Structure 1
Amino acid sequence: MRLREPMPDLHGITEWVNGELNKDQFKGKPVLVHFWAVSCYMCKESLPLLNEWREKYGEQYNLQLLGIHMPRSEKDTDLDSVKETIKQYEMKHPIAIDNDHAVTDSFQNEFVPAYYLFDAEGQMRFYGAGEKAIGMVEQRLHKILGPKEA
């Protein structure tokens, strides 16, 4: 995907955890989409920070988090394992389990962890992948969200 492209559709999800969403529900809201896998240790290391951002920016700025579980191997497609990890890491935002890579392909995503930040108009404003990407996400969040309210 390229910057300023609209968010792709979320068709072809294997299963939803914590509520099913569609792209229309994001209208007027900034959205952070994170791709992860149960076998990815870097992904798991970033989950507590994502939970913190969900709480910190969700209420004040209406930021919506969406997790996309992208299996990297056959073992990663085990739904029970994915659900246990979601519970263990207290991921309360919607998680799309994408065992067939339908959404992964629509985002043209190849990596985990990967982060896609969309503004309130639905345009992609940031993409980052790998270990260092999480460090750049919050900086971009501040640009998208604007100044903090008192």
Structure 2
Amino acid sequence: MPALSGASSWLNGPALTASGLHGKVVLVDFWTFSCINSLRPLPYLRAWATKYQAQGLVVIGVQSPEFAFEQRLDNVRDALASHAISFPIAVDNGHRVWNAFQNEYWPAIYLIDAEGRIRYHHFGEGDYDQTERAIQALLTEAGASRVDHGLVSVRGEGAEAAPDWDNVKSPETYLGYARTERFASPGGPVPDIRHAYTAPTPLDLNDWALAGDWSMGAEATTVRKAHGRLLFRFHARDLHLVAGPATRGSPLHFRVLIDGKPPGSNHGADTDEQGNGTIDGQRLYQLIRQKAPIDDRTFEIEFLEPGAEVFAFTFG
């Protein structure tokens, strides 16, 4: 087991060490709190941490940030509270734990046996039954008694709900110029300065555009004037937006439309039937959860005040 000493801090308990965990079966989950792929396994991680704690399982989350705002401890604490995470969290702002494991993925699960050897890994979502069987086998091998060999039954809510993979035809799309693709506003990105953008009509599938006054940075794009709009032509059940106020503690209001109309029963966990919502922190927002039939749709979000930063669209 690689060292955990590279963590910049620990939450939900004292710092843990590889030597101090000897004799325990350890599950290490690399995640980051605004990544939809990292959020959907959480119901299983919480359930396993509770079910197998008495038999010697220790679940550790390694929060390895993708965006700069994910390095802020207050943002991480907010995420732990929002998702009811009580198992230990190593805050890996320098990616030193990530590098020690030679990890490359969010999420990534590693299982370490009681002798400190990595015996199993899984990259990405899914295969939860297989992972739980591996947990049970390592606990039994370590001498745990009364290991329940049934499988947990969980149901994620909101952004933690299982995706509808059959209908996901839109890719994760970054909204800063360093990594963005398929930006359709005429003239393309204008880096690092305030600019008045327009949105073409119609958009092709998986194209996105801005309308109004925005400034596009390398990592995030910021609305500079009230009523700036962001549009995306997508095909998926769920649409999420990673966003936040540029100034912490300044809630910002928005309204979303789907094909030019309020979402109604297709609203997400962070919007109502009229499409209204509030940006209250730097995190992932679920804005649309469609009911069948799933088809190509045009999503639009209008920010009613300036100051919102948008980072990425994700789908499910």
Normalised by the length of structure 2, the TM-score is 0.43
Between Structure 1 and Structure 2, the one with more helix by share is: 1
CA offsets 1:51-92 (integer angstroms, 9 cap, x no match): 111110011x11011110011122322221111111111211
4+ residue stretches of structure 1 with deviation over 3 A?
none
Unaligned runs of 5+ in 2: 148-316
Aligned to 1:3: none
Unaligned runs of 5+ in 1: 1-6
CA distance in 2, matches of 1:127, 1:112: 13
Match of 1:26, SS state, is: coil
CA distance in 1, matches of 2:146, 2:3: 32
Q: Is the CA contact (8 Å cut-off) linking 1:114 and 1:133 kept in structure 2?
A: no
Aligned to 2:50: 55
- My pick for the range that moved more, 139-148 or 49-58, is 139-148
Q: Does 1:136 align with 2:133?
A: no
Q: Is the CA contact (8 Å cut-off) linking 2:40 and 2:125 kept in structure 1?
A: no
Aligned to 1:26: 21
Aligned to 2:81: 87
Aligned to 1:4: none
Structure with larger Rg: 2
Q: Does 1:77 align with 2:71?
A: yes
Aligned to 2:2: 8
CA distance in 1, matches of 2:116, 2:19: 10
Match of 1:54, SS state, is: helix
Aligned to 1:149: 146
Aligned to 2:60: 66
CA distance in 2, matches of 1:17, 1:96: 7
Instruction: State the 1:119 CA deviation.
Output: 0.7
Q: Which amino acid aligns with 2:87?
A: H
CA distance in 2, matches of 1:133, 1:77: 29
**Aligned in 2, Cα 1:36/1:133: closer, same or farther, shift over 3 Å?**
farther
Paired residues, number:
143
Q: Is the CA contact (8 Å cut-off) linking 2:56 and 2:139 kept in structure 1?
A: no
Identity %: 37
CA distance in 1, matches of 2:28, 2:84: 17
**Aligned in 2, Cα 1:132/1:113: closer, same or farther, shift over 3 Å?**
same
CA distance in 2, matches of 1:133, 1:78: 31
Q: Does 1:108 align with 2:105?
A: no
Q: Does 1:39 align with 2:34?
A: yes
RMSD: 1.6
Looking at both structures, which has the greater relative contact order when contacts are Cα pairs under 8 Å and sequence separation is at least 6? 1
